[in-house]
Amino acid sequence: MKTSQLLARLRSLGVKLWVDGCELGISAPKGVLDAELVAELRAKKSEILALLANSAPRAAAASEGADEIPAIEPAEDRRDALPLSFSQKRLWFLDQLEPKSCVYNMPLAWTLRGTLDVECLERAVARVVERHAVLRTSFPDDAGTPREEVGPVPPFDLRPTIPPGANAAERREALRVQLSERAEEPFELARGPLLRPALFRIEEDEHVLFLLVHHIVFDGWSADVFLREVGEVYRALVSGTEPELDPLPIQYADFACWQESFFASAPLQEQLRYHAEQLAGDLPILDLPSDRPRPPVQSYRGANLRRALTPELLAEVKAVARREGATLYMVLLAAYDLLLARWSRREEAIVGTIVAGRNRPETRDLIGFFANTLVLRTDLSGNPSFTELVARVKETALGAFEHQDLPFEKLVEELAPERNLSHTPIFQTIFMLEDRTGKEGRFGDLELELFELEAHVARTDLMWTAHETEAGGLEMWAEYSTDLFDPETIERLFDSYIAILEGAVANPDAPAMSLPLLSPAERRRLLEDWRGPMESYPEDPIHAQFEARVDAAPDALALVFPTTVADGAGDEELTFSELDERANRIANLLVERGVRPGDLVGLCLERSVDMVAAVLAIQKAGGAYVPLDPAYPTDRLAHMVADSGLALCVTHSELTDLLPDGIDHLALDREAGALAAASPGRPAIAVASSERCYVIYTSGSTGRPKGVELEHRSVSNFLATMAKEPGFEEGTRLLALTTLSFDISVLELMLPLTRGGTLIVAPGEATADGEALLALMERLEPDIMQATPATWRLLLLSGWEGSPNLRVFSGGEALALELAEEIVPRCKELWNLYGPTETTIWSTRKRIEEGSERITIGKPIANTSCYVLDERREPVPVGVPGELWIGGHGLARGYLDREQLTAERFVPDPFAEGPIGGRPARMYRTGDEARWLPSGELECLGRIDHQVKLRGFRIELGEIESVLAEHPAVRQCVCVVREDVPGDQRLTAYVLGDEDLDAEPVRAHARELLPGYMIPSAIVRLDELPHTPNGKVDRGALRKLEPPGAAQAAGDEEHVEPRTATERAIAEVWADVLQLDRVDVEKNFFDLGGHSLLLAEVLGRLKESLNGDLTIVELFRYSTVASLAERIDSRGADGASGGREEKTRDLARGRQTLMQRRRIRR
C-alpha cells in the first residue's frame, strides 16, 4: 500500500495524525488500529512524517468528512434482484462488447513446498468459496440489464496434474507454458463458475496452486484475503480442528447496494466535482510513438518486459523524496510523467493508478472487485525543475487519494469523453508502485512463493508497475499493447526512464524538460554512428568537372534534345566537345557583357539545348545562374529579378516580354552572329569551390519567394555521393523532366555531364503529358529517370507497363507505399530521395524493395549528418518524432540578402566535430517531422504543419491519405483540415477517382482501418489536384476551394427524420432508451446523451425488434441511425419490412412501461 493510500484509509477510519516534534501523533477510535495497520504505520513512519510536515492543512483535516459516510449494512432482502457495483457493470458491458474475451481474467499461481494434504486443500478452497458469496455469483442478462445470481459451491477437483518433463526444471517451464494458455480460457459471466482452481505436482514436496478467476468478482487485495483464509482453514483441517474465521459482517452484494445509494450523498458529489475540475478541458489520448498505427478496435493483445533499478540509484531517488517531503511513489511518478511528456511532446501527462477501494472497515476482509481507478493529471508547462515537478505530482496525488471513493465509472459518465473502441477512456497508461511484502511466506506448514506467469494481455496501451526487491533495488514491469509496440520500443522507454532518474538525482533543480533522455551510448549512436560516411569529393567547380569529361571523351554523346516526341528525325544531339564549345561561346559573350565572378545571372529559357549550354556558360563565366521559369507569373518573375539584383539575364527573344523593364538580357537567338564570332575557347576565369553555383527561389511563408544560395562545393559533394549510390556509370542515359526552378534538376543536368553519361532533355510537351512522356521513354529507353510521385502516377494512369532497365528516382514529395508497390515491379530499381533545397537537392536516399512494409527516406548521404531534435534542439530517442535538422557539407550558404532568416534557419551545429570548408559547422532546420528507426533509417512523417489536431486527437494526414488510397475507386488522395466556420474544424479528403465515385463506400473502407476521429467528414472528388510550379500538391489551394456541404458547415443543418422501416425501428429504440421525443438519423448516439451501458440496452432491444445479429462493436462503429440502418439492410438483417413496422408499434406500446422501469432503476 502506498503511503498516500494508507493516509486516505486512515482518514476514512476516523484516525487523526499529526506531527509532535519529531514524533508521529495518533488518535484513533477504539479497535480500529489492528496489528496490520500498526505494522504499516511503523514501516512508513518516516514518509508519513515528511508528508505531514509539508501538508499541514491536509493533515489537520485528515478525518474531516469521515463521519458523513454511512456504514455499510446488509441488504434488507438478498432474495431480490441485487444491483452490480459500478465496476462490475463496466466489466459486464466490456464482456458484452467482446464476448469470450480473456482480457479481465486474473491468473494467479503460487508454489507450495512441503508435504501437501490435497484433500484438506480442496476442502479449504470450498470453505472459502462458500464463505464469500461473490465467488459463487454469475451475471445473467435480463433484457439488456445484468443481474446477480448466487449459486451453490461448485465441485472442485484439485487432484494434482503432473506437467511433462524429465526433471523439476523442465516441468516448471512446461507448466509455465500450460498456465499461460489456461489464462486465456474465457469465462461465461451469465453461467459461471467464475473461479477455477487447479493443482500441479512438480515433485513430491513441490506443488503449484493455480487460480483463474474473473476480475468481476476479484481483485489484487482479494488474492491476499483468499490466500490467507485458505491457509487458515487448511492449517486447521490438517491439524484436525474446526476452522475459526471471524464471521463476515456483509457480503459484496451489500457493498454494491450501499455504493448505489452512497453515490447520491454529498461527500461523493463533492468528490465528483473535484475530479471533474481536475480533468476539465481537452483530454488528449496518449500519443507515444508507436511501431504500428492504432487499430480501430483495441484487441488487448499484450506482452511484458522487466527492468531493474540498481540499489544505488534507488537510494538516491529515495533521498530526493525525503528532501522534498514526498514519497517514493511520487518521485517515481514524476519521472514517469516526464517520460510520457517528453516522448509524446506534450506539456501534461494523464495517468491512471489503481487503489484498493477498501476505505470502509467492513470491506477489509471481503473478496470482491473493490479496486478503483484514479486519474492523475500533471501539468508540466513552464518547464519546471524536477523538484517543482515532484511538488506538482505530490499535490495532484494527495488530492486524488483524498477523493478516491468516486467510482471511475461515474467519472467517465460525468466527463462523457468521445467514445472510441481504439483506446480506453480518459487515460491510456497506468502507473503503480506495488507493495510485494507478504506475498511469500508460510501456508500452514508449507513454504509459499509466487509462481510468475507470462501475461499476453494489455488492458491499456502501457501499464508501468514497480516494486522494491529484497536486494534493495527496484524491479519495473511494463505491460504493453503489442498492437502498438515492439519490445525494442519498450526497452528504449526503460532506457529513457532510467536516464531521467539518473539526471534528476544528479541535478534535481535542473529544468525537467532538459534532463537527459538518452544514455551516453545511445546519444553517441544517434549523433555519430548514424552520420553519413566521411568521403572525399572533387574540389573543382562543377563546370570544371564537366570539362574534365570533355577532355577524357570529347566525342561521346553528351546531350540529346528531342524536338518532337513521335520520332527521332528532329532530335538535336551534341557530343561533349560540341556542348563545351557552345557553352564557351556563350560564356565569353557573357564576360564581354560585363559578367564578373560572383555575379548572379538570370536564365529564362524554355527546355532546349541552349538551356543546358547556358547553365554551363554562366558557371564558366564565374557567375551563378538564377532560373526564371517562363511559366511563372510575371509578378513573381519581377520579384525574383529585383530581389536577386541580376547582372544580366540569358533568354530567347520571344520570352523577353516576360521580364521586367530595365533588366539587361542576352537573347541567344537574336545574338546568333555575336555567338558565332565569340571565342570557342574556355574563359580563363578561376572559380573557387566556395563560390556560388546557382540561386534557386523557393516559396516563403510570407508569400514572396526567397533565394537559396548553393555553392560548387556542396554540389560537388552531392554529385560524388549520388554517383556512388544509387550509382551512375559512364554511358548511362538520364531523361531529364524537371524545370530548372526545381533544384532536383541539378542532378538531372550535372550528374550525366560530370560522370560521362548522356543527358536527354525532355521537351516541354512531354513533361506534363503522360502519354507523350510514355512515348518518349519507349523511344529513347533511358537508364535513369527522376520525377515527383505525381509524375509517376501520371505515367501509371497513361498505361505505363514498365521499363525493366530503368532506375527510378522519386522525390520532391512523400512517396506513398501503394504507389511504390505499383512502381517496383515495373522497373529495375526504385529509389526514394529526400532533401530540401537548402541542403543541396537530396540529403538521404533509400532503395525501396519489393514487399516493403513502410516507406523510409533511408540514411544520410556522404558527409551529411541528420539529427532528429526536440524543441530544445536535443536528440530524441529512436522512434520518437522530432524535427529533422541536417548538417554537413551540403548546406547552402544561406538565403540571399536575408541575414535574419538565414540565422534563424541555419544555426551553429553543436554536434559537429569541427569546421567545414574553413567555416564553423552549421545545421539547417527543415521544418519536417521525422523519426529514427532501429535500422538507422529515417522515416519522414511530413511537414510539421501537416500534423493536425482535432478534438484533442493528434492526426497525421499522411496516414489517412494512405488508407483512403487503398480503396480501388481512389487513385490519389490528399487530406486537409478546413475551418470554414471559426472553431469548427472539419477533416476533408480530396480524391481523384471515377466520375461516379461514391463517398460512402470509401468512408466505410476507412472505418475498417482507422479510428473514428480519423474518418474525413467530407470526401470530395476532383478531376485533378492543384499543384505548385514544382509539381507538389498545393494544399493551400485545396483549402480555398468551396467548402463541401457549405450549408451544413454553416450550421443550417435540419433535423432528418427516419426514411425507412429500419431507420424508424432504430430511432424508436433510441428515443426510448435516451428518453427523447425524436431522433435525428444523422446524429451520433453519444452526442445525443448515450453512454456505453445504454448501448448494451439498445443492443438487446434491437435484437428483439429486428431479429438482427448485431454486436456492440457494430453499434460503436455505426453510431448514427442512418449508418446502422444501412449496415443492417446491407446484410439483410430482416427482409420483411412489414414485420419491422409491426414490431415498431409494439415498441411504442411498451414505452411507458420501459420508462417507468428506468426511473425505478435510477
Q: How far apart are CA 359 and CA 783, in angstroms?
A: 77
- When mean pLDDT is compared across 369-378, 401-410, 1047-1056, the lowest value belongs to 1047-1056
Percent of the chain whose pLDDT exceeds 70: 89
Q: In this predicted structure, what is the pLDDT of residue 628?
A: 95
CB 116 within 8 A of CB 200: no
Q: Which of 904, 892, 942, 531 is nearest to 743 (CA)?
A: 892
**Residue 713: its H or E element:** helix 712-722
Instruction: Note the pLDDT tens digit of each residue in 810-825.
Output: 998 889 899 999 999 9
- The secondary structure of 293-313 as a DSSP string is PPPSS---BEEEEEEEE-HHH
CB 299 within 8 A of CB 422: no
Q: How far apart are CA 407 and CA 260, in angstroms?
A: 10
Contacts of 314 (CB under 8 A, 6+ apart): 468, 472, 473, 474
| Winning range, highest mean pLDDT, from 879-883, 978-982, 1113-1117 | 879-883
Q: How far apart are CA 93 and CA 1100, in angstroms?
A: 12
Q: In this predicted structure, what is the pLDDT of residue 761?
A: 97
Examine the pLDDT at 934 and tell me if it is beyond 60.
yes
Examine the pLDDT at 1134 and tell me if it is beyond 50.
no
Q: If one looks up domain 269-441+459-517 in CATH, what number appears?
A: 3.30.559.30
| CATH class for the domain made up of 542-867 | alpha beta
Q: How far apart are CA 377 and CA 415, in angstroms?
A: 14
CB 63 within 8 A of CB 32: no
Task: Measure CA of the first residue to CA of the last residue in the chain; give whole Å.
Answer: 35
Confidence of residue 633 (pLDDT cuts 50, 70, 90): confident
Q: In this predicted structure, what is the pLDDT of residue 438?
A: 53
| Entry field: residues in the chain | 1162
- When mean pLDDT is compared across 485-489, 565-569, 859-863, the lowest value belongs to 565-569
Q: How far apart are CA 917 and CA 914, in angstroms?
A: 10
Q: Are 86-255 and 269-441+459-517 the same fold in CATH?
A: yes
Per CATH, the architecture of 954-1053 is what?
2-Layer Sandwich (3.30)
Q: How far apart are CA 124 and CA 139, in angstroms?
A: 25
Q: In this predicted structure, what is the pLDDT of residue 751?
A: 98
Confidence of residue 432 (pLDDT cuts 50, 70, 90): very high
Q: Which of 364, 322, 352 is nearest to 432 (CA)?
A: 352
Q: In this predicted structure, what is the pLDDT of residue 646?
A: 94
**Residue 542 corresponds to which amino acid?**
I
3-state secondary structure at position 363: helix
The residue assigned the cell 530548372 is 740
CB 413 within 8 A of CB 1091: yes
Joined grid coordinates for residue 919: 567555416
Q: In this predicted structure, what is the pLDDT of residue 367?
A: 97
Percent of the chain whose pLDDT exceeds 90: 63
Examine the pLDDT at 1014 and tell me if it is beyond 90.
no
How would you classify the pairing of strands 665-667 and 692-698?
Answer: unpaired
Instruction: Note the pLDDT tens digit of each residue in 250-296.
Output: 999 999 999 888 877 788 889 999 999 999 988 888 989 999 889 98
Q: How far apart are CA 1063 and CA 1126, in angstroms?
A: 9
Rounded to an integer, the average pLDDT of 856-871 is 97
Residue 194 burial (CB < 10 Å; 0-12/13-18/19+)?
A: buried
| Winning range, highest mean pLDDT, from 361-365, 506-510, 636-640, 1056-1060 | 506-510
Q: Which residue has the higher pLDDT, 1121 or 260?
A: 1121
Examine the pLDDT at 809 and tell me if it is beyond 60.
yes
Q: In this predicted structure, what is the pLDDT of residue 2?
A: 63
Instruction: Note the pLDDT tens digit of each residue in 202-230.
Output: 999 999 999 999 999 999 999 999 999 99
Q: In this predicted structure, what is the pLDDT of residue 5?
A: 65
Q: In this predicted structure, what is the pLDDT of residue 59?
A: 39
Examine the pLDDT at 158 and tell me if it is beyond 60.
yes
CB 354 within 8 A of CB 372: yes
Q: How far apart are CA 329 and CA 398, in angstroms?
A: 11
- The secondary structure of 805-862 as a DSSP string is EEEEEE-SS---HHHHHHHGGGEEEEEEEE--GGG-S-SEEEEPPTT-SS---BEE-T
993 to each of 800, 878, 961, how far by Cα in Å?
A: 18, 38, 14
Rounded to an integer, the average pLDDT of 354-360 is 89
Residue 632 burial (CB < 10 Å; 0-12/13-18/19+)?
A: buried
Measured torsion, CA atoms of residues 895, 896, 901, 904, in degrees rounded to the nearest 10: 40
Q: How far apart are CA 125 and CA 1026, in angstroms?
A: 73
**Mean pLDDT, the chain, integer:** 87
Per CATH, the architecture of 1061-1161 is what?
Orthogonal Bundle (1.10)
CB 711 within 8 A of CB 690: yes
Rg (CA), the chain: 37
Q: Which residue has the higher pLDDT, 669 or 1139?
A: 669
Q: In this predicted structure, what is the pLDDT of residue 947?
A: 58
∠ CA 735-740-745, nearest 5°, is 45
CB 967 within 8 A of CB 1002: yes
Q: Which of 938, 811, 960, 926 is nearest to 876 (CA)?
A: 938
595 to each of 645, 685, 688, how far by Cα in Å?
A: 13, 11, 16
Q: In this predicted structure, what is the pLDDT of residue 435?
A: 80
Contacts of 769 (CB under 8 A, 6+ apart): none
| Winning range, highest mean pLDDT, from 485-489, 1037-1041, 1093-1097 | 485-489
Q: How far apart are CA 406 and CA 262, in angstroms?
A: 10
Q: In this predicted structure, what is the pLDDT of residue 1153?
A: 32
Instruction: List, as own/partner pairs, every contact residues 652-656 make where C-beta atoms lie below 8 angstroms and the sequence separation is at least 24, other chains included.
Output: 652/605, 652/606, 652/610, 655/604, 655/605, 655/606, 655/630
**Residue 1069 corresponds to which amino acid?**
V
Q: How far apart are CA 982 and CA 699, in angstroms?
A: 27
Confidence of residue 981 (pLDDT cuts 50, 70, 90): low
Q: How far apart are CA 367 and CA 128, in angstroms?
A: 10
Give the Cβ contact number of residue 775 at 10 Å: 16
> What order do you get walking across the sheet with 446-450 strand by strand?
195-203, 206-214, 105-113, 446-450, 441-443
Confidence of residue 185 (pLDDT cuts 50, 70, 90): very high
3-state secondary structure at position 697: strand
Burial annotation 357-374 (CB, 10 A radius, 16+ → b, else e): bbbbbbbbbbbbbbbbbb
How would you classify the pairing of strands 784-787 and 803-810?
Answer: parallel
- The fold of 3-68 is Arc Repressor Mutant, subunit A (1.10.10)
Q: How far apart are CA 13 and CA 1099, in angstroms?
A: 43
Whether domain 86-255 has CATH 3.30.559.10: yes
Examine the pLDDT at 460 and tell me if it is beyond 80.
yes
3-state secondary structure at position 256: helix
Give the Cβ contact number of residue 681 at 10 Å: 12
Q: In this predicted structure, what is the pLDDT of residue 1141?
A: 41
- The secondary structure of 457-484 as a DSSP string is B-SSSEEEEEEE-TTS-EEEEEEEETTT
- When mean pLDDT is compared across 281-295, 628-642, 859-873, 982-996, the lowest value belongs to 982-996
Instruction: Note the pLDDT tens digit of each residue in 385-396.
Output: 999 999 999 999
- When mean pLDDT is compared across 255-269, 370-384, 611-625, the lowest value belongs to 255-269
CB 248 within 8 A of CB 242: no
CB 1122 within 8 A of CB 1081: yes
Domain boundaries, the chain: 3-68, 86-255, 269-441+459-517, 542-867, 954-1053, 1061-1161
Confidence of residue 700 (pLDDT cuts 50, 70, 90): low
Q: Which of 62, 73, 60, 71 is nearest to 9 (CA)?
A: 62
Rounded to an integer, the average pLDDT of 885-895 is 97
Q: In this predicted structure, what is the pLDDT of residue 1089?
A: 66
Examine the pLDDT at 867 and tell me if it is beyond 90.
yes
Q: Which residue has the higher pLDDT, 1032 or 512?
A: 512
Interhelix angle 542-552/712-722, rounded to 10 degrees, is: 50
Rounded to an integer, the average pLDDT of 695-700 is 82
CB 824 within 8 A of CB 832: no
Rounded to an integer, the average pLDDT of 969-973 is 91
